[in-house]
Structure 1
Amino acid sequence: MTEESVPVATPPVAITTSPTRVTTDRITTEQTRAIVGSTPAPRRRIGPSDLQVFPVALSGNVFGWTADAAESERVLDSYVAYGGNFIDTADSYAGGRSEIIIGNWMRARLSRDDIVLATKVGKSADHAGLSARAVTAAVEASLRRLRTDRIDLLYLHIDDPDVPFEETLLAVDELVRAGKVRYFGGSHHTGSRLIEARIASAQLGVARMIALQNHYNLVFRREYEEGLARVAIDLALGVMPRFALASGFLTGKYRSKADLDGTRRAEVGRFVNRSGLRVLQALDAVAAEHDSPPATVALAWLLSKPNVVAPVVSASAVDQVFDLVAAVDLSLTRSQLTSLDRASA
């Protein structure tokens, strides 16, 4: 399980299988009621926008890659059945196949108005970079693949130093004015670049960023907490952590070098050390107290942090979904949060 695009050679990580398993190819209304019940699913607002989202975003980074179309649709059905409404993808995921699968699923389920749809531009081979021409062409291509007339949240997937911010911001603003993009945010941007973008937006009188998707989890804290957290608060940016489970390390599957297969050594191997295992030990203790898997606790820890709206996580099989969405109902005590903070400091 990962939360961002990954090299083709890298296999997905399976998280702990939940005892609650969806067995049909398509979730029925009756099953949805049985699972969700009458209590409305929780929602969080993204920054100053009117976007209200489920506190765990489902990434489409494995759709069309390690999850075929049929399994991807089952994952999407299961996520929605548990109350999810926030789907995250990118024009570069599986060469655009992720967007195609999601678009076909939305059209078949007639669910577009019930979904907050996020995608990213800047990394695709066809429309690389953030020039005005590239951004406009990339969005138009994404709209066709997604079979929709608007993108709820568009991320700039890269920080393109070769293009003046003003050019990118004006291009995005035109798309917002045309109704093709509702809101936009940053990704892979430093705090200073986010501030620069806000200043430029004010000077130009154009739409401003309302969201940030950044690398943040229990074993990778410093970049966000020391460099971006204050900026996110000052600029009122809703934060969507990617790599929320550290490429699968925080599921507890990898505890020694022997657990690493050859294709995941570079991604996960850097965490299999004394400090990483200390974090897993703390996760295990809290997980045991809640009778929950470590992955659920790791996501609940993120959801306790200021400005965090929804961690972005993926599932390559339907039986992985429950452990992800269960995090929204897991309340960690102050003592448990302190234990996790200390172990991962």
Structure 2
Amino acid sequence: MEMKILGSSNLRTAPIIFGGNVFGWTANKNESYKLMDEMLDLGINMIDSADVYSRWASENKGGESERIIGEYLNDRKNREDLIIATKVGSSMQQGGDKDISEAHIIEAIEDSLNRLKTDYVDLYFTHWDDNKTPVEETLGAYEKLIKQGKVRYIGASNLSPERLQESLDAARTNNLPKYEVYQPEYSLAVRDKYEGKTQQICMDNNLGVTGYFSLASGFLTGKYQSKEDIKGTDREQFLKSYFDERGKKILKALKDISDHHNISQAAIALMWIMQRPGITAPIASASKPEHLQSFKEAMNMELSTEEMEKLNQASG
């Protein structure tokens, strides 16, 4: 398996990153442990989490994903086998204010480290921009954490192209830590949040790119064929906008190619991302061990130029 370098860091990830948003949400603790065990067996060595995951479940308050990961690392004694990424900036309250001030970052990292039961995180992301904190203040806070050994590298997610470029310029001008990884929403269903200005900035600055919602919350697996299929489910809020004519074209193209190769539609959707310009590795989640089969399929073949173009046209 060819490992992928994240930006200019010395972090090397498998071609697919496991999305820890399911831990404590659609996968309970025991299920999460099985997923992480089997993920490692496949050679996947990076988990992406956030301090607010898995806040979506009604009984949760945030931090459940980190807590389960931490208990797993403590029980398995395998911290050095994994790259752990987590994030700061979202509110633990639904609809709450974003915050990437120095004071919040310094406090939030301690909470994350306690839940993760570790002394450091490999990659710490600005989760969302608050559009008010000077970028120098945010990067200065990360500089302190890096010097203290609590964070190895930093990344950014969901920033506008303008704020991302401003942050990179400030890092260069003021000798502050540079974002090494950018994490946009990116899939066959959602391309415009990365392609264009943001993609060019990432490529010009040698940023690793690890897109999230790679399977569009399950839409691209082909499991759901209509809005009726998702009504009342945990995923309804994420999926309801995809069931239009464009969405149907994407699903048809995926099915045609997956039928031809006799592998899952999810694998095809992941391969498309893996072969797109500037992408380091997609983030993908699974709530059951058998779902990991699509990850294995995706890491063991490539799509032809013609197949890539068919998917490009369907999703364009």
Asked if 1 retains the 8 angstrom alpha-carbon contact of 2:90 and 2:99, the reply is yes
Q: Which residue of 2 aligns with 1:76?
A: 36
Q: Residues of 1 paired with 2:182 and 2:155: CA distance?
A: 5
Determine whether 1:133 maps to 2:103.
yes
Residue equivalent to 1:321: 292
Amino acid at match of 2:27: A
* Displacement after TM superposition at 1:226 (Å): 2.1
Query: Percent identity between the aligned chains?
Result: 38
SS in 2 for 1:83: coil
* Aligned partner letter, 2:287: S
What is the 5 A alignment of 1:162-201?
162-201=132-171
- 1:290 aligned to 2:229? no
* 1:86-235 to 2 correspondences below 5 Å: 86-94=46-54, 95-125=62-92, 129-235=99-205
Report the AA paired with residue 307 of structure 2: Q
Give 1:66 shift.
2.3
Query: SS where residue 166 of structure 1 aligns?
Result: helix
In the TM superposition, what whole-angstrom CA distance separates every residue of 1:6-25 from its partner, at most 9, and x where no partner exists? xxxxxxxxxxxxxxxxxxxx
Q: Distance between the aligned counterparts of 2:111 and 2:169, measured in 1?
A: 29
- Write the distance in 2 (CA, Å) between the matches of 1:258 and 1:275: 18
In structure 1, C-alpha distance between the alignment counterparts of 2:199 and 2:86, rounded to whole Å: 23
CA distance in 1, matches of 2:208, 2:27: 29
Q: Quick one: higher RCO (CA 8 Å, sep 6+), 1 or 2?
A: 1
CA drift of 1:265 comes to 4.3
Query: Which residue identity does 1:142 align to in structure 2?
Result: S
Of the structure 1 ranges 101-110 and 179-188, higher mean CA displacement relative to structure 2 is found in: 101-110
**Once the 2 structures are TM-superposed, how far is the Cα of residue 342 of structure 1 from its aligned partner?**
1.1
CA distance in 2 between partners of 1:197 and 1:48 (Å)? 16
Distance apart, 1:214 and its partner CA: 0.4
SS at match of 1:241: coil
State the SS of the aligned residue for 2:24: coil
TM-score computed with the length of structure 1 as normaliser: 0.85
For each residue in 1:296-333, what CA deviation from the matched residue of structure 2 results, as whole angstroms up to 9, or x when unmatched? 10000000012211111111222212212421212111
- Partners of 2:140 and 2:169 in 1: CA distance: 13
Deviation string 1:276-301 (CA, Å, 9 cap, x unpaired) is 11111111111112111111100000
Residues in 2 aligned to 1:332 and 1:82: alpha-carbon distance in whole angstroms: 21
Take 1:54 and 1:269, find their aligned partners in 2: how far apart are those partners?
31
2:11 to 44, 51, 56: 51
CA positional deviation for 1:128: 5.6
Contact 1:190 1:227 in 2 (8 A): no
Partner of 2:57: none
Aligned CA-pair RMSD = 1.6
Distance 1:293 1:158, change over 3 A: same
Following superposition, the deviation at residue 260 of structure 1 comes to 2.9
The residue aligned with 1:24 is none
For residues 68 and 169 of structure 1, the distance between their equivalents in structure 2, rounded to whole angstroms, comes to 35
Which amino acid is the alignment partner of residue 51 of structure 2? D
- 1:303 and 2:270 are equivalent in the alignment: no
Please say if residues 56 and 311 of structure 1, whose CA atoms lie closer than 8 Å, have aligned partners that are also in contact: yes
Question: AA paired with 1:100?
Answer: R
| Amino acid of the structure 2 residue aligned with 1:50 | N
Mapped contact 2:98–2:130 kept (Cα < 8 A): no
Q: Deviations over 1:38-88 (max 9, x none)?
A: xxx431000111100011111111211221111100000010011110111
Tell me which amino acid in the other structure corresponds to 2:142: V
Structure 1 residue runs without a partner (length 5+): 1-40
How many residue pairs are counted as aligned between the two chains? 305
**Aligned mate of 1:60, from 20, 24, 32:** 20
Indicate yes or no: 2:311 matched with 1:337. Answer: no
Q: In structure 1, what is the Cα distance between the partners aligned to 2:29 and 2:273?
A: 30
Gaps in structure 2 of 5+ consecutive residues: 55-61
The one-letter amino acid paired with 1:310 is: A
Corresponding residue SS for 2:162: helix
Higher deviation after alignment, 66-75 or 262-271: 262-271
What TM-score does the superposition give when structure 2 sets the normalisation length? 0.92
